Structure 1
Amino acid sequence: MHRLSIKDKWIHFNEKYEYIWGNIFIFIMCLAFVLSDWMVWIFSFSDYLFGALIVLMVVSNNFQLKSKQYKWILIVIGTVVLNILQNYLINNGFIIKLGLASLFKISLYTIVSFSFYNFITRINLEKKLINSLNLATFIVCMIGFYILIALYTNGILPYEFLWNYTRTDAISYLFEGGNNLYRIRSIFSEPSYLGNYLLIILGINLFNKKNIKVNLYFILFLILTIIFTFSYSAISIMVLILIIHSISSNAYKKIRLKEYNLLYILITLSILLVFIYFNKDIIQVTIIERTTEILAGKDSSASSRLLESWQHINKEHLIAGNGIGHTPDIWNIYAYFLSDLGVLAFVGLIILSIYLVSLNYGLGILFIALNFQKGGYLAVPFYIFIVMIFIFNYKKKGSRL
């Protein structure tokens, strides 16, 4: 009788408990998504979690890359390596250590994203993934409202420990121009960053093509939380994707409207009207006055996203850019790519954006809009969102990745 080797036994064991490994991987991915603003040294919690994820995938024999995926990984890594070499030779202000750290990050993000996609789609864990993301999001929102209550009650409830690894300054949660008006940011460093995360979750729920049913109460809860961020950009993008969803041919197929009769709809509308009435002063400050300032050209955050972000482009080095990781913090990822990586990477991002729109127009448009709302292509959420778009798209004859 043939005796299995230790290696074969381990492989058999992992295949037997593949679903358990799936729960672990999804748990780590959800944590990485929400802890991207928590920093230890020069890396975020998400970076460490991605490192742990790839180690566990290798150890459990669940790390897998397809032949055509190696091509895309080599293109991404090759582009970054070329950028580092160019700037090392011609850019006196280029810091090689920063470039190599950025290369390590992008390599890790890209490889983990491909492998995670392969694992989830191979054993059909899409529904488990979206349910886990929704649960994590619900917890994040509840933490946000808890902190909001703590702030309004002058710190009677403890909350500072939730911000040990991120910002604690008042600017990060006080609304500019409002007297003692607090914005919900939960465990993120800014309200707009929380809004960015919630918009991705909202988009995945609304535009997934896996026929995964959506809980209307959860959607309403997400909308409410986004509103309480008082992030003008987040609220504007939310309205945009809700309009896109409402006019699509499949708009209401995933929402279980049969569970909600006319009475519930009227109650919801009544609550909304009561909310607007008692918060009309807040709406005046956060929406009406802000819109007026933007239209008058007086709002700095709007101009920084659309115009000022492009000012860091080095016209003398359009091909090589300033070097990966060398552009100051800006909001616009398209400007980031052109400024940091040069024209070729910028064109590549535009092509990717167009392809994502053709793949899933709702999530593709959301991807483009969010690229103007929050900078950070050297952060985990950017890559998680891209892989989620592929995961929650139709499986056709061949894999998309």
Structure 2
Amino acid sequence: MQQLSMKKKWVDFNYAFYQVWENVFIMIMCLAFVLSDWMIGIFSFSDYLFGALFLMMVLSNNFKIRPKQYKWLIIVLTIIVFNILQNYFINDAFILKTGLAGLFKITTYAVVITSFYNFIDRHSLEEKLMKSMNITALIVCLIGFYISLALYTNGNLPYEFFWHFTRTDSISYLFEGSENLYRIRSLFSEPSYLGYYLTIILGVNLFNKQNIKTNILFLLLLILTIISTFSYSSIGIMMLILVLQFFSVETFKNMKHKKLDYFYIVLTLIALGILIFITKDIIQVTLIDRTSDILAGKDSSASARLLESWQYINTNHLISGNGIGHTPDIWNVYAYFLSDLGVAAFLGLVLFSGYLVKINYKLGILFIALNFQKGGYLAAPFYILIVLIFIFAYKKKSDIRL
């Protein structure tokens, strides 16, 4: 009886401070997204933050997973366990320790994002999450421009502390073949990873079904920062997002009685036109010349994403794959699934991608495009992308959700 009373007091205490917990949970998720390239030992800051988020949700009585979700989690994890056992017995190159580490990571990511999704959905915190992500992205953009300013002033401004836990080499921020053209990477290890992060933020702002409005100046800052990464893939996906948003049939239908929408589109086009004119020389080097190299087959980065990522597929283990975590770093998530986990997992990812297109075709297309930009299904950003799509894919609370 006393034990029951203590439990009730603890539940009541956490309920009284639920607003504190929601701020903490959202802040941790925003930081986990941003600090995914910061490393301590073999784990990223995101891994530690996911662990902290799991413990806080459990201790605050906010860890909830629905029966239907348990079923899907068990199915996915059972497939992975079976894959590990299969590789352990038939694949001499398989390292059990690596496989178990991969299983632990996927389990942690999947369980935490599922519970986080339920928390956001249960308390209708979609708009608060969006605002928090936007504030975080704003800070990330400003830090990126500050670091570039510091580099252009020959290090007269301090900036190295931002990169203490990640890369500091000049290759990570100098444009290829140039000694004085700096690419913005902010807190990330590569400009393309910053672009990956910002295109997701841009996509959920424009494609969310909760009709959450975003300041046009903030969207323009996101676009400017993405362009300043000089990441060909990031800029390409950004253009895809803008085309899906401003030139879709539904957009024109919704604009019938909203003249302000026309103003926003015209303002965006004017701002982009001015930006293109000011940076036309840089665009020539970073985009036009590089497009020419890609078409001529001279660009190694593009071929790595589209072709070379598939080279690690082992035809001798096509069904079981090489084993979870056994493929070297590549750019393509679909190739990762096929080479690591085999045909069944690859087809599962393809079907999952189709499901996302069905529930929200714009976010689904974005998911597919991003999977060709940045590999890594054993890293937090992949799972954060998934949970953000599910959070913002639906129109209202009454919609059928996971």
Fold shared, TM-score > 0.5 on shorter chain: yes
| Count of residues paired in the alignment | 398
Could you say which residue in structure 2 is the equivalent of 1:400? 401
Return the letter of the residue paired with 1:61.
N
Counterpart of 2:401 in structure 1: which amino acid?
R
Does the alignment pair 1:169 with 2:131?
no
One-letter amino acid of the structure 1 residue matched with residue 40 of structure 2? V
Partner of 1:12: 12
Match of 2:64 in 1: 64
Gap regions ≥5 residues in structure 1: none
Contact residue 173 and residue 182 of structure 2 kept, 8 A: yes
Secondary structure, counterpart of 1:321 in structure 2: coil
Q: 1:178 Cα deviation (Å)?
A: 2.8
SS in 1 for 2:251: coil
Find the counterpart in structure 1 of residue 88 from structure 2. 88
Give SS of 1:312's match: coil
Percent sequence identity is 67
Code of the aligned partner of 2:45 = F
Q: Residue 115 of structure 1 aligns to a residue in which SS?
A: helix
Which one is further off, 241-250 or 160-169?
241-250
Q: What is the TM-score when the length of structure 1 is the normalising length?
A: 0.94
- Residue 21 of structure 2 aligns with which residue? 21
Matches within 5 A, 1:128-207: 128-207=128-207
Give the corresponding residue for 1:51.
51
Instruction: Quote the residue 2:309 is aligned against.
Output: 309
Post-superposition Cα deviations, 1:346-397, rounded to whole Å, max 9, x if no partner, equal: 0000000000000111110000000000001001110111111111122475
- CA drift of 1:16 comes to 1.9
Q: Which amino acid aligns with 1:77?
A: L
Shift of 1:248: 2.6
Contact 1:332 1:374 in 2 (8 A): yes
| Cα distance between partner residues in 2 of 1:398 and 1:200 | 23
Separation (CA, whole Å) in 1 of partners of 2:261 and 2:362: 25
Tell me how far 1:241 sits from its aligned partner. Answer: 1.3
Please give the root-mean-square deviation of Cα atoms over the aligned residues, in Å: 2.2
Partner of 1:109: 109
Q: Quickly say closer, same or farther: Cα 1:266–1:5, change in 2 above 3 A.
A: closer
> Does residue 74 in structure 1 map to residue 74 in structure 2?
yes
Q: TM-score, normalised to structure 2's length?
A: 0.94
Name the CA distance, whole Å, in 1 between partners of 2:28 and 2:265.
Answer: 37
Question: How far, CA to CA, are the matches of 2:94 and 2:167 in structure 1?
Answer: 28
CA distance, structure 2, for counterparts of residue 266 and residue 22 of structure 1: 38
Q: C-alpha separation between the residues in 1 aligned to 2:273 and 2:78? A: 55
Which digits, 9 at most, give the CA deviation of each residue in 1:79-103, with x for residues without a partner? 1111111111111111111111111
Structure 1 letter corresponding to 2:202: L
- Which ranges in structure 2 are unaligned for 5 or more consecutive residues? none
Aligned 1:237-252 pairs, distance under 5 A: 237-251=237-251
Residue 3 of structure 1: how far off its partner (Å)? 11
Distance 2:361 2:239 in 1: 16
Query: Corresponding residue for 1:363?
Result: 363
CA positional deviation for 1:177: 2.4
Question: Displacement, 1:274?
Answer: 4.4
Amino acid at match of 1:212: I
Q: Report the secondary structure of 1:135's partner residue.
A: helix
Query: Distance between the aligned counterparts of 2:200 and 2:271, measured in 1?
Result: 26
Contact 2:246/2:265 (CA < 8 Å) preserved in 1? no
**Offset at residue 58 of structure 1 (A):** 0.4
* Equivalent residue letter for 1:120: I
- Residues 72 and 267 of structure 1: CA distance in aligned 2, closer, same or farther (over 3 Å): closer
